[in-house]
Chain A
């Protein structure tokens, strides 16, 4: 229990491990592996994943499509059985005869669930509420999801954002200890996204725990206390959004796309082309990552110093500048730095 403060650790030393876990851990998995059979030996969706979600935090799984986020979440939710590894939700293991008790305390929003169009908001919430032994009243749940105005509207008539908040309402009907949100704002416009975020933030404010998957770095940065960046079913980074960005070693990103004498975008085959090592050695530069399609993402500590040096390096290489921009470093850059790809690249 290295995460606990030393005093607390000492105080809990006499407790059995299980109760320490239930005190502190909302969900965890160790050595998780999930393969989907198919042609060419199938796909390994999750490849030895370790995660621990602490009570009261919003834990984000950030990664591109197909990274294994949904599979991981569905394993934690007890909907998918892993091929290998240990899974616990709220201190209990799935498949040990306690599934229904675990589910009583979970709130789940799945990707792509379409609730029945012919029912109203209130009827839908009421149905889901009936599955749980405890929780707020139907009207309270509707208010939590900010759907009071739409109480009697048919589901089929709701906007995308309202449907997503209704899915959230169904998840909140149990007054869950642990709320799973699988891409809750994909496809929504910024305003609708903001409404969803506010509902999630209120839930966190009441002391709830959230596991969230997303491929929007703004969403992860705004909601999550800690983030695991997932790629090809593996965890490639873990930390708070600030920590992850800080690991880039620079506040600013200089985006440079140049076409060299050989017409290649990056020209890394030619001696006089841009080169990560040479770029990193320039004054004011912390490092440089070559992105498959967007060119160079140069991590810059001091733009005023770095920019002239980068331009001079371009000039020396003989490459012609096509695009130059700077932006504040984000989680997206962390992902590019780690994988050479963008979060929403196909």
Chain B
């Protein structure tokens, strides 16, 4: 070069590299219709489907099969029983299939009541709660029909506690599951594709700070997760009246902590694999146990108490527990402090490992 050429300062109309990298992430995501579906539409559909399947119904009458017409007549007036005459063999088959909750075998003929020894026999399945309850209800109705009077006058007062429905349990679980899934898939695929297309190597050939590249994923995840959570929580509120009793800032704190944890995990898993198949395998390995254990669809308290601490240390469990605490309106620090700390720890450790292990070419 004979003379030094003019080199202008500034970034020529571009922003700080971290801002530009994040902007590009958002643009790419917005232009990926499948990604939009999985992140925004799918969780809502899932919530709707499960919500409909488990919606609150008025209590159904117990299904009672009766072999004796006199017994059937006496039970006909009972409100909580749906009585159907049936032959014994046929009735027992239907009981086994779950068609009947209880089958009443009468001794045959009206002269059989009352008499010595059992003249009526209940066939039921003590392992099925509705079968046991059906047997008790049928017996109470039969005894009263034959003149039993209850010595203690009682009154009924049915309660339906707010936030105790299955859908109230489900919505935070779906949000948690979605936070994990969209972070891991979104980051894992995007990075491995960039690696196979030698785009990572091209970035490594620029003065770009490598941590900026990884951080851009965390930042773009954060922005998206806030939208995702708002979408699912909003629809849950609108369609199923699942209310967030705690402050919205609690949801925001949990979302940010979960975004950090899952983005870190996604970056760690995507640090080395060179094919989509490889990274998919690792992500499934990480996600599948959490789908089962972390209480998205059913409480992890069904597992033995000895393993709870391990389950509670999983990032998805921490996310679900914290979200449910906010939904129930528990005090923030006591309700979500530990979980947020767990998520932050996952995020920091996995990010640090990801930066160290990351393969650019």
Contact = CB atoms under 8 A, between A and B. Distances in A.
Contact of A132 (B199, B204, B205, B207): B207
A128 B32 contact: no
Nearest to B30: A118
Contacts of A113: 197-199, 201-202
A56 interface: yes
A112 interface: yes
Given A79-B205, A136-B12, A138-B13, A209 B198 contact: no
B28 A116 contact: yes
B11 A132 contact: yes
B1 A209 contact: yes
Interface in B1-48: 1-3, 5, 7-17, 19-21, 24, 27-28, 31-32
B361 interface: yes
Interface string A209-244: 100000000000000000000000000000000000
Interface in A109-162: 110, 112-116, 118-119, 123, 126-141
Q: Is the interface of B mostly helix, strand, loop or mixed?
A: loop
Nearest to B10: A134
A175 B5 CA distance: 9
A79 B7 contact: no
Contact of B2 (A103, A116, A139, A207): A207
A69 interface: no
A341 to B, nearest CB: 28
B206 interface: yes
B192 to A, nearest CB: 13
B27 A118 contact: yes
Contact of B197 (A101, A114, A170): A114
A77 interface: yes
Nearest to A138: B13
Nearest to B202: A113
A62 B86 CA distance: 94
A108 B205 contact: yes
A112 B11 CA distance: 27
Contacts of B197: 113-114
Which one of B17, B19, B206, B207 has the highest number of Cβ atoms from chain A below 10 Å of its Cβ?
A: B206
B223 interface: no
A206 B16 contact: no
Given A137-B13, A206-B5, A116 B361 contact: no
B12 A137 contact: yes
A56 B1 contact: yes
Nearest to B209: A100
Interface string A286-310: 0000000000000000000000000
Contacts of B352: none
A103 B203 CA distance: 11
A177 interface: yes
A130 B16 contact: yes
22 contacts: A56-B2, A79-B205, A108-B205, A110-B202, A112-B198, A113-B199, A113-B202, A114-B198, A116-B28, A118-B32, A119-B24, A128-B206, A129-B11, A129-B12, A129-B13, A129-B14, A130-B19, A137-B12, A138-B13, A140-B12, A175-B8, A209-B1
Given A108-B206, A118-B27, A207-B1, 7 more contacts: A103-B207, A108-B205, A116-B199, A131-B206, A139-B13, A141-B12, A207-B3
Going nearest first, the 8 A-B pairs with the smallest beta carbon separation are A130-B14, A114-B197, A130-B20, A103-B207, A207-B1, A137-B12, A134-B7, A108-B205
